[in-house]
Amino acid sequence: MRMTPPRPHVPATLDTSAAEQALRRWMAQGGRLLHLPGWLDSGPDHWQARWWQLPGHSKLEQSDWQWPRRGDWMARLDEAVGAGQPDAAAIPTVLVAHSLGCQLVAAWAAHSRWTQRVAAAWLVAPPDTEGDDTPPQLHNWRPMPRQPLPFPALAVLSTDDPFAPLERARTLCRDWGCEVREIGPTGHVNAASGLGDWPQGRLWLAEWLLLRGITGATGSR
């Protein structure tokens, strides 16, 4: 099982246009970015809601955004990733998760038989659902899954996230075997953070996917 210790950042060593072009080619060949919003969904001013309207992006809808049941959310993701096609014909997928969507990735990966269909995961602002101030709607997301993820993952952490103290977030990412990029004081990396379309985030994602060999030959998984 791959275990990669958290790092303060992933260095940008690639030509940015090459990374973006590689991602576009990958999506044109059938790859998809599947967005997993967190609790209460991502509203229209959220960077994630703007991204999933782009070609090659899609959103995983959940039946209940107000009172999210972990098992129900896991089943929905399993259906989306595992539906229909044999492995050889399955659509290669990168999971793009925000907040509780990150917890969903970890919980699902610990139980699903479809994890080989996920090329990588990009986890933005994973929350601490074991904290004393966790809303009752999220108590069924305890305990937090700690198993290493079976695919490459990069966690993007804010240094002042109100839903996850930085050291707690770092520990969680270490347990998951994620690489880590810390982006300074950015709140919960949501609409309130004022990121707009967050083009810098899209560039970081494209660069990391190319470096890890997901969208091209550069780097390795």
Distance in angstroms (rounded) separating the CA atoms of residues 204 and 191: 18
> Tell me, what's the pLDDT at 39?
98
Give me the pLDDT at residue 176, please: 98
**Cβ atoms of residues 182 and 6 within 8 Å:** no
In the chain the domains, ranked by start, together with CATH numbers, are 16-211 (3.40.50.1820)
Residue 216: per-residue pLDDT: 87
If we measure between CA atoms, which residue out of 140, 98, 97 comes closest to residue 121? 97
Is the alpha carbon torsion for 54, 26, 209, 163 positive or negative?
Answer: positive
CA distances from 57 to 54, 71, 119, 219 (A): 6, 24, 15, 24
CA distance 192 to 163: 13
The one-letter amino acid code at 164 reads A
Structure tokens at 127: 């929350």
Q: What pLDDT is attached to residue 220?
A: 39
pLDDT at residue number 16 = 75
Element containing residue 123 per DSSP (H, E): strand 118-124
- Give me the pLDDT at residue 61, please: 97
Distances (CA, A) of 163 to 116, 159, 169: 30, 11, 9
Q: How many other CB atoms are found less than 10 A from the CB of residue 198? A: 19
pLDDT tens string, the chain, 221 residues long: the values are: 333 434 434 444 456 789 999 999 999 999 999 999 999 999 999 999 999 999 999 999 999 999 999 999 999 999 999 876 666 567 899 999 999 999 999 999 999 999 999 999 999 999 999 999 999 999 999 999 999 999 999 999 999 999 999 999 999 999 999 999 999 999 999 999 999 999 999 999 999 999 999 998 654 34
Kindly calculate the radius of gyration of the chain based on its CA atoms and give it in whole angstroms: 16
Cα–Cα distances in angstroms (integers) from residue 161 to residues 19, 56, 157, in the given order? 28, 29, 8
Question: What pLDDT does residue 89 have?
Answer: 64
CA–CA separation, 80 vs 75, rounded Å? 9
Which residues 6+ apart lie within 8 Å of 212 measured at CB? 120, 152, 219, 220, 221
Tokens matching residue 109: 């990966």
**What integer pLDDT is reported at residue 87 of this predicted model?**
66
Burial state string for 75-88 with b = 16 or more CB within 10 A and e = fewer than 16: ebbbebbeeeeeee
Following CA atoms 60, 39, 78, 151 in sequence, which dihedral angle do they give, to the nearest 10 degrees? Answer: 100
